[in-house]
């Protein structure tokens, strides 16, 4: 037995340390690509155990990969260099709503959807709503700065974090930010840590902001015969004075996939639909609903649909949530992207996706959070087909290039992880990447926290193919 494993066994209960191959195998993958076996899995259940693990890992220079429920789409929790997977999902869930402060304090293992449920009991809302909210932990959301449909109006995870408790790579407990809405006391470590993908420390507690829950919501679905017209309608709506809470796009392939998977009555002959949610006072919603219907028709929608009941509205949104599982049925492998462009460039990005699809003869379906330029082109393929996957790799690379050329970014909400690390320099430049690396090196001199993520290794390339 290695000395560092013996040390871990001295500090933590035996049933929280796993070394058997079957256990380690369960932690070797996430929802992205690649499989890597860790040497040990540690299930930490409180901050002192995290401190113990990090101190030992730092002393012996063993990599540590924090992990929640493993739903990451960019490889965040993958133990690419062996070492320790630090599973935080077994930590007891804790949700402490402070209604008078409009805040909530949560443990890292809390499922995101449960935070919103707890807030609703007080007439409040935790706005970030990643599609994985029912299965993913807030710890993972914080590490990746998760988005979601409501990001359009309310912002993403980062916009709702007031303070953190964090264990540094050297095993010190620090508190960042606090409990107040405004705070300019020194550098904003909170917003640096949120979205740092577990490369700077382990988040052990978070204080989140809540807002009053809007009194009513109103759904509108707009049906288009032309994808480009839909793209224009999206980019134009937001300059018309209305700020919807959600504005989601689905192309024909997605519509049909959902109708085959779990029929919801979507218009299968439409080339694209836009599903919009407005929220606010009932009186204001009546006015905004009419306005949105007018805009959609003016910009070429052949139809707009207003659900006749709340159940019908729920059904439409349920259909949107089913896109990801539904398209996964079409082909064995799904490469889910989230390159994001400025809103006015949505129609151009749609053209580029069409070109890329034809050029590399790959199957691309598109859906996503169109209102903030954050589309999800998904390439459907079969990872056992090496020749096809080689074309997919080229298509993905060109997709990234297109987004950057249009003034956009590699990732709107999924993170960089292992998958996009090789493309970082093309977006942020050599000097920009070096300033990020300086922070990393100053916080984690031994490089133990989630190595192999964000920062590419020399010569690293996008690889979606299995090892030959």
**Binding to a second copy in span 398-417, by CB under 8 A:** 407-416
Options 38-46, 183-191, 250-258, 266-274: segment touching a second copy (CB under 8 A)? 183-191
> Ramachandran region of residue 445, left (φ > 0), alpha (ψ -120 to 50) or beta?
alpha
For the beta carbon of residue 429, count every other beta carbon within 10 angstroms. 11
Size of the chain, expressed as the number of residues it contains: 468
- Burial level of 447, CB count in 10 A (0-12/13-18/19+)? middle
- The neighbouring-strand residues paired with 436 are none
CB 450 within 8 A of CB 81: no
Q: Does 325 bind a second copy (CB under 8 A)?
A: no
Task: Match 């996008």 to its residue by tokens.
Answer: 462
Q: Does 468 bind a second copy (CB under 8 A)?
A: no
Output the smallest distance, CB 170 to a second copy, in A. 9
How, if at all, do strands 124-125 and 272-280 pair?
unpaired
What are residue 148's phi and psi, to 5 degrees?
Answer: 135, 170
**Segment 53 to 92, residues that bind a second copy, using CB under 8 A:** none
Q: Binding residue for a second copy (CB under 8 A) from 427, 447, 463, 465?
A: 427
* Angle (deg, nearest 10), helices 227-237 and 346-360: 150
Q: Binding residue for a second copy (CB under 8 A) from 168, 322, 333, 336?
A: 168
**Segment 190 to 229, residues that bind a second copy, using CB under 8 A:** 191-192, 194-196, 211-213, 215
Record the tokens describing residue 373, joined without a space: 């330029």
Rounded (10°) CA dihedral 417, 419, 425, 431: 20
Q: Binding residue for a second copy (CB under 8 A) from 10, 15, 121, 187?
A: 187
Output the smallest distance, CB 195 to a second copy, in A. 5
Q: Binding residue for a second copy (CB under 8 A) from 261, 428, 463, 465?
A: 428
Q: Binding residue for a second copy (CB under 8 A) from 30, 279, 348, 372?
A: 372
In the complex with a second copy, the residue whose CB is nearer, 194 or 316, is 194
Helix (H, G, I), strand (E, B) or coil at 336: strand
In the complex with a second copy, the residue whose CB is nearer, 246 or 343, is 343
In the complex with a second copy, the residue whose CB is nearer, 239 or 386, is 239
In the complex with a second copy, the residue whose CB is nearer, 288 or 337, is 288
Q: Binding residue for a second copy (CB under 8 A) from 184, 311, 387, 459?
A: 184
Binding mask 247-266 for a second copy (x = CB under 8 A): --------------------
Q: Binding residue for a second copy (CB under 8 A) from 5, 113, 243, 328?
A: 243
CB 202 within 8 A of CB 91: no
In the complex with a second copy, the residue whose CB is nearer, 103 or 252, is 103
Q: Binding residue for a second copy (CB under 8 A) from 17, 57, 115, 124?
A: 124
Q: Does 397 bind a second copy (CB under 8 A)?
A: no
Options 16-24, 57-65, 118-126, 319-327: segment touching a second copy (CB under 8 A)? 118-126
How, if at all, do strands 84-87 and 40-43 pair?
parallel
Output the smallest distance, CB 441 to a second copy, in A. 7
- What residue spans of 210-345 are helical by DSSP H? 227-237, 252-261, 282-298, 310-321, 323-328
**How many residues in the shown chain lie near a second copy by CB under 8 A?**
97
**Segment 39 to 58, residues that bind a second copy, using CB under 8 A:** none
Output the smallest distance, CB 68 to a second copy, in A. 16
Output the smallest distance, CB 173 to a second copy, in A. 7
Output the smallest distance, CB 73 to a second copy, in A. 11
- The neighbouring-strand residues paired with 207 are 105, 163
Rounded (10°) CA dihedral 349, 353, 354, 359: 130
CB 273 within 8 A of CB 224: yes
Q: Does 32 bind a second copy (CB under 8 A)?
A: no
Task: Match 């259940």 to its residue by tokens.
Answer: 45
Record the tokens describing residue 59, joined without a space: 């002393």
């Amino acid at each position: 037995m290695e000395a560092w494993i013996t040390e871990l066994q001295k500090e933590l209960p035996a049933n929280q340390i796993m070394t058997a191959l079957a256990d380690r195998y369960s932690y070797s993958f996430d929802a992205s690509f690649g499989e890597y076996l860790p040497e040990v899995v540690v299930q930490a259940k409180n901050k002192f155990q995290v401190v113990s693990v990090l101190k030992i890992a730092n002393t012996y220079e063993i990599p540590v990969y924090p992990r929640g429920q493993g739903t990451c789409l960019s490889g965040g929790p993958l133990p690419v260099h062996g070492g320790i997977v630090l599973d935080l999902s077994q930590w007891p869930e804790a949700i402490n709503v402070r209604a008078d402060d409009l805040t909530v304090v949560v443990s890292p293992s809390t499922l995101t959807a449960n935070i919103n449920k707890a807030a609703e009991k007080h007439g409040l809302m935790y706005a970030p709503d990643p599609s994985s909210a029912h299965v993913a932990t807030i710890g993972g959301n914080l590490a990746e700065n998760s988005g979601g449909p409501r990001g359009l109006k309310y912002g993403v995870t980062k916009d709702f974090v007031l303070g953190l408790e964090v264990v540094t790579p050297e095993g010190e407990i620090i508190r960042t930010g606090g409990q107040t809405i405004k705070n300019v006391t020194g550098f904003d470590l909170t917003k640096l840590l949120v979205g740092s993908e577990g490369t700077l420390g382990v988040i052990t507690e978070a204080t989140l902001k809540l807002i009053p829950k809007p009194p009513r919501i109103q759904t509108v679905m707009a049906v288009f015969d032309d994808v480009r017209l839909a793209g224009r309608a999206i980019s134009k709506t937001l300059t018309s004075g209305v700020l919807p809470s959600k504005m989601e796009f689905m192309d024909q392939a997605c519509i049909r996939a959902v109708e085959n998977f779990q029929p919801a009555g979507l218009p299968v002959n439409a080339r694209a639909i836009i599903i919009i949610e407005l929220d606010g006072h009932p009186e204001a919603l009546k006015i905004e609903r009419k306005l949105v219907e007018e805009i959609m028709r003016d910009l070429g929608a052949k139809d707009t649909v207003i659900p006749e009941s709340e159940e019908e509205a729920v059904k439409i949104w349920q259909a949107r949530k089913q896109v990801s599982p539904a398209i996964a049925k079409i082909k064995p492998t799904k490469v889910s992207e989230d390159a994001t462009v400025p809103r006015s460039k949505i129609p151009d990005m749609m053209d580029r996706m069409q070109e890329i699809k034809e050029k590399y003869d790959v199957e691309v379906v598109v859906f996503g959070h169109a209102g903030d330029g954050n589309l999800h082109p998904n390439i459907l393929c079969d990872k056992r087909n090496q020749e096809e996957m080689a074309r997919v790799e080229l298509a993905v690379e060109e997709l990234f290039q297109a987004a950057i050329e249009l003034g956009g970014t590699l990732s709107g909400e999924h993170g960089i992880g292992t998958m996009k690390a090789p493309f970082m320099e093309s977006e942020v430049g050599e000097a920009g990447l070096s300033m990020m690396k300086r922070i990393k090196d100053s916080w984690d001199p031994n490089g133990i926290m989630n190595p192999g993520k964000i920062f590419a290794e020399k010569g690293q390339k996008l690889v979606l193919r299995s090892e030959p």
